[in-house]
Amino acid sequence: MKESALYVHIPFCDHKCIYCDFYSIITPDNVAAFLRSVKKEIEFYSERYSTERIITSIFFGGGTPSLMQPEYIAEILTNLNKYFTLSADIEITMETNPGTVNKEKLKSFYDSGINRISIGVQSFDEEELKFLTRIHDKQTAVNTVLYAKETGFDNINIDLIFNLPGQTKTKWLSNLREAVKLPVKHISAYSLILERGTILNKMVLDGKVEMQNDDHDADLYETTIDFLEDHDYHQYEVSNFTKPGFECRHNNAYWHYKDYLSFGTSAHSFINRKRWWNFSSLKRYISEIEKSGNAIAGSEELNRKQIHDEYVMLALRSSGIKLLEYQKKFGGGWINKNYSYLKKLKDDNLILYDDEFIRLTKNGYALCDEILKNLL
């Protein structure tokens, strides 16, 4: 059986945060129609890809999946279980925003089958939360984590954002200290990225907000790695840190270049060297599903070089290149060609390179993009 992952994009939000470039809508229109379409899309792809395939993870992203009623998510899970073979120990994650759930709702999500929860805290600082236009305050964020634990969730992730305008190292360390006090097994820490089309991007262009420089960003990132490692969180990907045994199985499917199917607006899938993506518009998505069972807006067939470069990029961003696996897939030409540069990276303590692995060190993670640019 081939291991694969499933992703479901729930596009509904209560409002649009200034930094977010994911497809989301802030109207409750078409919530019921969207559910019908997702179920129909699941059935469509099951007829093509369910045979000899076992699903090891499901991820509900968005948007804000936790805005939905638990029965809504449960209905999608029932449909996935009907049409696909789910592993007995499947990981089922749902993104959750503080301010959209209470203790009773979290318990209902847990009872519906969600066993991993990813909470979009972003910051524990009141001023930073206001700047990011989050709907919650610090105490709501803390309570959401504690309620999740009390209702049965053992596998809890929180998202944090660093390098906000004006953020000092002292303020960022305060965020990290608050995080490690809580019963969380996984922390995702992302640098604030300026994405085209976002409200934040316009604020910067208009001169209302000034982003911090790359050196400050790098300093905060290295501080993050040192602090979380000192508190027993192992870094297993550029932005992700975990207690032993709690790596995100779903994200590892992406980083280890496994197949994944995705449902919903703007969702991307990758099966057998082919990648395709859905229409973003909710109305167009529903219309296309109604007509043909799928909502594919575009696709591409990857050539061998594209597959190689993506494999290397994803591997180095996460747990590293397993040399035996790599050589079976691609041979040894690329490694031989880049041997001098790889040796320099090793001498500079930017990679670990032995008979089994090539992987980035802590210092290498900080220069990941530059290293990948030079290699690829």
Residue 318 lies in a domain: yes
Residue 291 lies in a domain: no
What was the pLDDT predicted at 293? 97
Compute CA distances 50 → 6, 75, 87, 357, whole Å. 11, 19, 13, 33
Q: What CATH number has the domain bearing residue 335?
A: 1.10.10.920
Domain of residue 328, residue span:
304-375
Q: What CATH number has the domain bearing residue 38?
A: 3.80.30.20
Length reported for the chain: 376
What was the pLDDT predicted at 196? 82
Task: Tell if the pTM clears 0.75, that is, is over it.
Answer: yes
- What is the chain's mean pLDDT, rounded? 94
Q: Do residues 84 and 202 share a domain?
A: yes
* Side-chain half-sphere exposure of 354, counting CA atoms within 13 A: 3
Q: What mean pLDDT do residues 245-256 have?
A: 96
pLDDT of 65 > 90? The answer is yes
What was the pLDDT predicted at 210? 82
Domain count, the chain: 2
Walk across the sheet containing 351-353 and list its strands.
321-322, 357-360, 351-353
Backbone region of residue 227 per phi and psi (left: phi > 0; alpha: psi in -120 to 50; beta: other values)? alpha
Q: Do residues 201 and 346 share a domain?
A: no
Q: What mean pLDDT do residues 351-359 have?
A: 94
Q: Do residues 243 and 332 share a domain?
A: no
Higher pLDDT, 204 or 47: 47
